[in-house]
């Protein structure tokens, strides 16, 4: 029997179906056992139970794994969602964050002190899965990836040990968890450094119709080198929302947007927006100051639970004319208004970190992370969006870096793609895997095979 301070659920029990549900409706898994853990000792007991009974183990934090890796058929799901505490020391600028906390938990606690951790852009994402793969979002140009702001972790390894990993303790393991995903164990607590951000930020959305796509992308290409690290722009190929600030004839219209977030002065933001509007007048524009926490929740509804989701990504060294031609050819071909393509600019603080300082799967040179996301509200529309993502991604390959893609966006984490992503780091990660998880207990992830 699995004895926990938390709850153990099996099929047929009250709460089982809610507990096994995942963010991506494409995946419908039925674990034999769900361990709703309350503390590190519970995680330790669950890992040992799973290993001793030969159960395949999945780890659930925010349940946002695009690949459905947060659960498993006929195996053991370790559900971390009760480990969601966030404790902030504003004077030391440190936060201790439970392994099952969501970004909204982290943001609410840190913003009470005008502080933040660079993280993702959807507040119901789990801190754990996001961080272990790297963690990128609005603050990446200013403060780097989530892993660049990580001080230590508490981790339960495959043999049931509870370890601390930091620069001064198990430094090899600390290197591996910063980008190596969930390959080395279950993180029960993160310790982050905090930086100033918010509580208010400047927000602008400018939108153009499909026929202006090439002009928007060329404008973005020209803007990025001129931006300070107080400003971030995400290029979003998406459908206009049915919001009051959008002309009615453009509700749900496909097009291209620049989402501009400023952490500096309103005057700096206004000057940048005016420059853009003068150079390329948008179909509509919306701007407002907003709380940082509201910014972090602004994409929650578009990325809500219950959609059928498929994603492929790539690293793009430059927005070349050839890449722009591919993008503008494929963006109009999507059918679901929920599908989108996003371009994150990776430079400044991101590029200031040495390639080998962490296990992150991607070069630390200035580049773009591309996310091609197919989402459908019903399964009948899903096949078409999946094919759209695949054909778009294939056509874009000649323009990419060939390094692979961000591991957090791999719907199908094939071995060759994972090896390409980690490159020369892969062998070092294999050695770590052989040391801490020689039997590959933790393989429901972008899996590193033990050496």
pLDDT by residue for the chain (451 residues), tens only, comes to 899 999 999 999 999 999 999 999 999 999 999 999 999 999 999 999 999 999 999 999 999 999 999 999 999 999 999 999 999 999 999 999 999 999 999 999 999 999 999 999 999 999 999 999 999 999 999 999 999 999 999 999 999 999 999 999 999 999 999 999 999 999 999 999 999 999 999 999 999 999 999 999 999 999 999 999 999 999 999 999 999 999 999 999 999 999 999 999 999 999 999 999 999 999 999 999 999 999 999 999 999 999 999 999 999 999 999 999 999 999 999 999 999 999 999 999 999 999 999 999 999 999 999 999 999 999 999 999 999 999 999 999 999 998 899 999 999 999 999 999 999 999 999 999 999 999 999 999 999 999 9
The CA angle 163-165-171, to the nearest 5 degrees, is 130
Residues 221, 153: Cα–Cα separation, whole Å = 38
Closest CA to 98 of 193, 189, 194: 189
Contact status, residue 103 vs residue 123, Cβ threshold 8 Å: yes
- Residue 317 has a pLDDT of 97
Write down all domains in the chain, each with its CATH number in brackets: 7-79 (3.30.43.10), 86-197 (3.30.465.10), 200-409 (3.40.462.20)
Pairing of strands 340-346, 231-239: antiparallel
The total number of residues shown for the chain amounts to: 451
Residue 81 neighbours by CB distance under 10 Å: 18
How much is the CA Rg of the chain, to the nearest whole Å? 21
Burial class for 446, CB neighbours closer than 10 Å (0-12, 13-18, 19+): buried
Report DSSP state, residue 169: B
pLDDT of residue 48: 98
Strands 186-193 and 150-156, how do they pair? antiparallel
Edge-to-edge strands, sheet with 150-156: 86-89, 94-98, 186-193, 150-156, 162-166
How would you classify residue 381: left for phi > 0, otherwise alpha for psi between -120 and 50, otherwise beta?
Answer: alpha
What is the separation of C-alpha 381 from the centre of its chain, rounded to a whole number of angstroms?
24
Distance of alpha carbon 361 from alpha carbon 241, whole angstroms: 33
Do residues 243 and 198 touch, judged by C-beta distance below 8 A?
no
Distance from C-alpha of 346 to C-alpha of 229, rounded to nearest angstrom: 11
CA distance 394 to 374: 15
Distance CA 44, CA 42 (A): 5
User: Taking Cα atoms as reference points, which of 166, 146, 145 lies closest to residue 154?
Assistant: 166
Number of neighbouring beta carbons within 10 Å of residue 46: 29
Asked if residues 180 and 359 have their Cβ atoms less than 8 Å apart, the reply is: yes
Q: Are 346 and 366 in contact (CB under 8 A)?
A: yes
56 and 195 Cβ atoms separated by less than 8 Å: no
Burial of 115 (0-12, 13-18, 19+ CB in 10 A): buried
Contact 137, 149 (CB under 8 A): no
Cβ burial of 259 (10 Å; 0-12, 13-18, 19+) is: buried
Contact indicator for 164, 152 with CB cutoff of 8 Å: yes
pLDDT digits (tens, 9 = 90+) for 25-45: 999 999 999 999 999 999 999
The pLDDT of residue 1 is 84
With a CB cutoff of 8 Å and minimum separation 6, the contacts of 85 are: 96, 97, 98, 101
CA-based nearest residue to 387, from 407, 377, 372: 372
Q: What are phi and psi of 179, to 5 degrees?
A: 120, -20
């Amino acid at each position: 029997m699995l004895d926990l301070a938390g709850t153990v659920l099996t099929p047929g029990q009250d709460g089982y179906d809610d507990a096994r549900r995942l963010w991506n409706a494409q995946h419908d898994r039925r674990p034999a056992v769900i361990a709703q853990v309350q503390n590190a000792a519970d995680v330790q007991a669950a890992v040992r139970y799973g290993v001793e009974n030969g159960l395949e183990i999945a780890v659930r934090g925010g349940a946002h794994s695009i690949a459905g890796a947060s659960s498993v058929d006929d195996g053991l799901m370790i559900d971390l969602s009760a480990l969601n505490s966030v404790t902030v020391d504003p004077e030391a600028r440190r936060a201790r964050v439970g392994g099952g906390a969501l970004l909204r938990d982290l943001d609410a606690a840190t913003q009470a002190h005008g502080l933040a951790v660079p993280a993702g852009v959807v507040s119901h994402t789990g801190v754990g899965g996001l961080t272990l793969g790297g963690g990128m979002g609005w603050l990446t140009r200013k403060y780097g990836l989530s892993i660049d702001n990580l001080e230590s972790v508490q981790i339960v390894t495959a043999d049931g040990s509870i370890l601390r990993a930091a620069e001064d303790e198990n430094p090899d393991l600390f290197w591996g968890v910063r980008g190596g995903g969930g390959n080395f164990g279950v993180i029960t607590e993160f310790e982050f450094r905090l930086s100033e951000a918010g509580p208010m930020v400047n927000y602008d959305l400018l939108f153009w119709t499909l026929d202006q796509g090439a002009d928007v992308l060329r404008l973005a290409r020209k803007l990025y080198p001129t931006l300070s690290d107080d400003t971030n722009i995400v290029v979003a190929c998406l459908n206009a929302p049915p919001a009051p600030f959008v002309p009615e004839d453009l509700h749900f219209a496909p097009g291209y947007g620049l989402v501009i977030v400023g952490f500096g002065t309103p005057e700096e933001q206004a000057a940048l927006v005016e420059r853009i509007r003068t150079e390329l007048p948008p179909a509509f524009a919306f701007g407002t100051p907003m709380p940082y926490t509201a910014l972090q929740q602004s994409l929650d509804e578009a990325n809500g639970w219950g959609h059928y989701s498929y994603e492929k990504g790539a690293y793009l060294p430059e927005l070349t004319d050839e890449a722009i031609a591919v993008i503008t050819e494929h963006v109009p071909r999507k059918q679901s208004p929920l599908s989108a393509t996003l371009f994150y600019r990776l430079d400044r603080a991101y590029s200031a970190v040495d390639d080998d300082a962490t296990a992150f799967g991607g070069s630390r040179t200035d580049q773009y992370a591309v996310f091609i996301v197919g989402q459908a509200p019903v399964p009948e529309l899903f096949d078409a969006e999946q094919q759209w993502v695949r054909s778009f991604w294939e056509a874009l390959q000649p323009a990419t870096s060939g390094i692979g893609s961000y591991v957090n966006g791999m719907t199908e984490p094939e071995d060759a793609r994972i090896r390409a992503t980690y490159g020369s780091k892969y062998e070092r990660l294999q050695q770590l895997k052989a040391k801490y998880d020689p039997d590959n207990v933790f393989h429901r992830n972008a899996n590193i095979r033990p050496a």
